[in-house]
Structure 1
Amino acid sequence: MFSEVELIRDVTVDAENIKSDGLVSRPQSFIMTRLLEDLVREKASKDHGYFLAVTSLKKIGKMKAVEESGDVFFPVVFNCRTFLPYEGEILQGIVHCIYRHGVFLRCGPIKYAYLSARKMPGYQYVYGQKMACQKCGHDRKPLFVSNEFAKIENGVVVCFMVLGVRWFENWGNVKNEFGVLATLEGDSLGPISLSGSGELDL
């Protein structure tokens, strides 16, 4: 779900960026750039979801100093557009990995949306295998095929419902990400386009 939220962050300015008179050159531009860099690194939060865009800068507070380092920081209040997946929501994702037991999809900023084969009623897994052509063999990639011959394969856009959401703050190499469990159990869910579709833009 998309939301517009008000957030506050302390934006740090390194000592080397402070002029001899104690001021920051072009403070609003510098602070805005640093704020955006910080949000890109932070990426998402458990409460608000993924940070998509800063829509307005509401207030830059008074400069405060960190005595030990000589750095300073500014409390900044701003509005941000966010995306937080929730159970029961209908989303669209692009298939990028296929396994016997299910597929992984990407959905905007969500990298880890898993659709289990058990949640694909009427679909059967088809093994990847070599097929002979006139001059050389070529690979048939694995896919899922329904009783109506609809295909779920790499690059296909799939409409799914969110079955569950989990927040991963620090799990191996995964930091500040949401994991989503998907299902096709419901009306009007399943593949909606052929391979070659572009990444969905949230």
Structure 2
Amino acid sequence: MFIRVKLPWDVMIAAEDMDTGLTLQRTIVVHLLDAFATKKATKNLGYFITPTILETIGEGKIKEQTGEAVFPVVFNGICFKMFKGEVLHGVVSKVHKLGVFLRSGPYETIYLSHMKMSDYEFIPGENPVFMNENMSRIQIGTRVRFIVLDTQWREAEKDFIALASIG
């Protein structure tokens, strides 16, 4: 689900990058976009997709140790987070005897267990697949509709893993 959020953020600008007027505002926006791009996700908000509107730029404060200026900003943005019970689409990225891994949007790791694909049987080989009696195949590249059973935040990787069932 896409979520609109209002985020307070501190933008740090080196002394040599600062100027006045429109140039300063443009510098703040560029540094905000750079900082936003490096921050992948948070447990509460999900994955950061894009900032949309810069609402306010506060008064900058100079850090005496480094000479950098810190500007508090408030902006609107869009985040993406899966919730339990949501029905989504994903693309199979890996096939294993015990299930498949899907990707959907910024989520790289969505696990669909073979136990949740009761009509499907695993067929090993160079390109393993799950197939049912109607010859429907789940293999690498297949688009699958799934229901989110649970999501877990992985602090070390700063991302989520989701558990799914066929939807």
TM-score range, shorter chain: over 0.9
Over the matched positions of the two proteins, sequence identity in percent amounts to 38
Letter in 1 for 2:160: F
In 2, Cα distance between the equivalents of 1:46 and 1:163?
A: 17
User: Alpha carbon RMSD of aligned pairs, Å?
Assistant: 1.4
What TM-score does the superposition give when structure 2 sets the normalisation length?
Answer: 0.95
For residue 156 of structure 1, what is the aligned residue in structure 2? 142
Q: How many aligned residue pairs are there?
A: 167
Relative to structure 1, the CA distance from residue 31 to residue 7 in structure 2 (aligned partners, 3 Å threshold; closer, same or farther) is same
For residue 138 of structure 1, what is the aligned residue in structure 2? none
Report whether the alignment pairs 1:183 with 2:165: yes
Letter in 2 for 1:52: I
Report whether the alignment pairs 1:100 with 2:97: yes
Relative to structure 1, the CA distance from residue 24 to residue 111 in structure 2 (aligned partners, 3 Å threshold; closer, same or farther) is farther
What TM-score does the superposition give when structure 1 sets the normalisation length?
Answer: 0.79
Deviation at 1:148, TM superposition (A): 2.0
For residue 17 of structure 1, what is the aligned residue in structure 2? 17
Cα shift readout 1:114-160 (whole Å, capped 9, x = no counterpart) = 1111111211000114xxxxxxxxxxx10000122211001110000
- Structure 1: runs of 5+ lacking an equivalent: 130-140, 190-202
Could you list the structure 1 runs, at least 4 aligned residues long, displaced by more than 2 angstroms after superposition.
none
In 1, Cα distance between the equivalents of 2:74 and 2:133?
A: 54
Report whether the alignment pairs 1:165 with 2:151: yes
How do residues 44-193 of structure 1 correspond to structure 2 at under 5 angstroms? 44-129=41-126, 141-170=127-156, 175-184=157-166, 189=167
> For the Cα contact (< 8 Å) 1:95–1:105, is it kept in 2?
yes
In 1, Cα distance between the equivalents of 2:87 and 2:138?
A: 17
Cα shift readout 1:146-176 (whole Å, capped 9, x = no counterpart) = 1222110011100000011001121xxxx21
> For the Cα contact (< 8 Å) 2:111–2:163, is it kept in 1?
yes
In 1, Cα distance between the equivalents of 2:83 and 2:24?
A: 38
Deviation at 1:17, TM superposition (A): 1.7
Secondary structure at the counterpart of residue 155 of structure 2: strand
- Structure 2: runs of 5+ lacking an equivalent: none
Cα shift readout 1:80-134 (whole Å, capped 9, x = no counterpart) = 01111111111110001111111111101000111111111211000114xxxxx
